[in-house]
Structure 1
Amino acid sequence: MTEIDPRRLLDRLPILEGVPPAARDLLAAAARQVRHDAGATIFRRGDPGEGMLVVLDGLVRLHLASAAGRELTLGLAGPGEPVGEIALIDGGPRSADATALTPVRALMFRHADAAAIIATDATVAGALLRTLAGRLRRTTDQTESVGLRTLQARLATALLQLSKADPSGLVRLPQGQIAALVAATRPKVNAVLADFRARGLVEPARAGLRLLDPEALRALGEA
C-alpha cells in the first residue's frame, strides 16, 4: 500500500478537530505509519506504553483476558479512532490487550515525541482529553451492552462493525472470535446466526458471511 502524507491524514481525523494547522504540522512530523496483519497482537496488557495509535484502515479489538482464558471485549476501534491513548499522555504500561481483527494500517504517535507538543499546545491537550472522554463513554457503553442487551442485539451490532471494516463488506472473522467479541459461547452465537440466516438477514459466502439486510440488523442492534 502506498504511503500517504501523515499531514493529509491528520486533517481527516475527527479527534483533531479544532487543532490549528501549526500544531498538526508538529504532530505529523512526530507520526509514523505502522501496519499489522489480521490476527496480530498489537500490544498486551502490561507492555510498555510506547504511545497512541490512530487507526487509518481496519479494525482493532481492545480486550482483557483472565488466567483461565476468559475474555472481555472493551471495544472496537475503526478508521479515525485512537488505540492506547492513555499511554500518549502518561507513558505508562498498557491497560488492555489490542488485537488486529483485520489488516490494520495506523499512525503511531510516540509518547516521547508528543510530550513536548502536549505540554506547549493547549489545543492538542484538549483534543486528547476529548479522546479520553470518548473512550470512557465507549467502554461504559460496552459494559452496558454485555450486561443489559440481548445476544441478538450484540451480535447484530458486531456483524455490522465487522462488515464495515472489510473492503468486500464480508464478515471474515471465525465464529469463535465473534463469540468472544459479544461475550457469549460459540454454540449460542451459532444458534443466533442460524436464526439470522433463516430470516434472510445473512448468508454464508465463500470467504465469510454476507449481510443481506443491514438495515434490519441495525434495527435489531438498536432494540
Structure 2
Amino acid sequence: MKNVTLRRALSSDRWYRSCHSELQMALVSMARPVRLAHGEDLFLQGEPSQGLFCVLDGALLVSNVDRDGKVAVLSQVEPVQWFGEISTLDRGPRHFSAHANGDTKVLCVDGAVLEPWLNAHPLCWRDLGVLASGKLRVALDVIQEQAFLPLEQRVFRRLERIASGYGSRVTPKKRVRIPQEVIAQMLGVSRQSANRALKYLEEVGLIFRSYGIVELRTRAASDEKSCGGPTTSSPPWAMEPGP
C-alpha cells in the first residue's frame, strides 16, 4: 500500500486525522507491517516494548489472564485504531497482552525510532498525550457505568464503542464481529448473563445477531419495529443519548 493511499485510509481515524501533518507522514514512513495468524500474540503483558501500533485488517483483543485462568478483555481493536501510547510515554512495560482475533495485519512503529523523532519535534508529543487522554476518558466512563447501569445497557454501550472504534472512527460501523464469549469477558460476567442481555437487546430491536456478528440497529428503526407489532417495549435508556 503506497504512502498516500495508506494515509488516506488512516485518516478515517479521528486521532490520526487530528495529528500534525509531520507526525502523520512520519508514522507512515517509520511503520512496518506485521501479519498475525488467529491467536498469535503481538505483545505480552510485562514486555518492555515501546512504540505505536495500528490495526489495518482484522482485529486484536487486548486482554489479561489471572492465575486461575480467568480472561479479562479490555478492548477489541479494529481498523484503523492506534494504541501503545502509554508504554511509549512512560517507557514502562506492557500492561496487557494483545493477540489476533482472526487473521490480522498491524502497522508497527518501533519506539526506538519514534522517540528520537518526537524529541526532534516536541510539539508532536502532545498528540500522543491526546491519544492517551481519549483512552482514559473511555475508561472513566466504563467505571461509572459499572456502578450505575444495568447489564443490558452496559452491553449495548460496549457494542456501540466497538462499532465507533471507541470514539475514534469517523464513520461508525453497523456490524461488529465479536463472539458472545468475548462480550462476557469484556463485561466481567458469565457467558449465560451476556447471552440473556444480548437476547433482551435483540427482542427490543436494538441489535440483530447472526453467527459471531452483532448488527446495531438505528434507534429510529427500533421505534418503527416496536410500533408495527406486538414486541417488547424499548427500555427508557434505549432512547437516552450516550455519555
TM-score (norm 1): 0.77
Give the equivalent residue in structure 1 for 2:189: 184
CA deviation map 1:56-107 (0-9, x unaligned)? 3444333333212234343443434322112333443211122334544332
- The match for 2:129 is 129
Alpha carbons 1:117, 1:124 under 8 Å: kept: no
Relative to 1, partners in 2 of residues 1:37 and 1:173: Cα closer, same or farther, differing over 3 Å? farther
C-alpha contact (below 8 Å) 2:177/2:214 kept by paired residues: no
In the alignment, the residues of structure 2 paired with residue 126 and residue 56 of structure 1 have an alpha-carbon distance, to the nearest angstrom, of: 24
In 2, are the aligned partners of 1:15 and 1:80 still within 8 Å (CA)?
A: no
Q: Which amino acid in 2 is paired with 1:19?
A: H
Identity %: 24
Tell me the secondary structure at the aligned position of residue 176 of structure 1: helix
Name the residue aligned to 1:83. Answer: 83
Structure 2 distance, partners of 1:106, 1:137, is: 25
TM-score, normalising length from structure 2?
Answer: 0.72
CA distance in 1, matches of 2:121, 2:193: 50
Is the Cα contact below 8 Å between 1:160 and 1:214 reproduced in 2?
A: no
Shift of 1:19: 1.1
Name the residue aligned to 1:94: 94
Q: Any conservation in 1 of the 2:54–2:108 contact (CA below 8 Å)?
A: yes
Cα root mean square deviation, aligned: 3.2
Residue 42 of structure 1 corresponds to: 42
Q: How does 1:59-208 map to 2 (within 5 A)?
A: 59-161=59-161, 170-205=175-210, 207-208=211-212
Deviation, structure 1 residue 129? 1.4
Structure 1: any 5+ residue segments left out of the alignment?
none
SS at match of 1:153: helix
In structure 2, the gaps of 5 or more residues are: 166-172, 223-233
C-alpha separation in 2, matches of 1:170 and 1:20: 31
Q: How many residues align?
A: 217
How far apart are the structure 1 equivalents of 2:101 and 2:107?
17
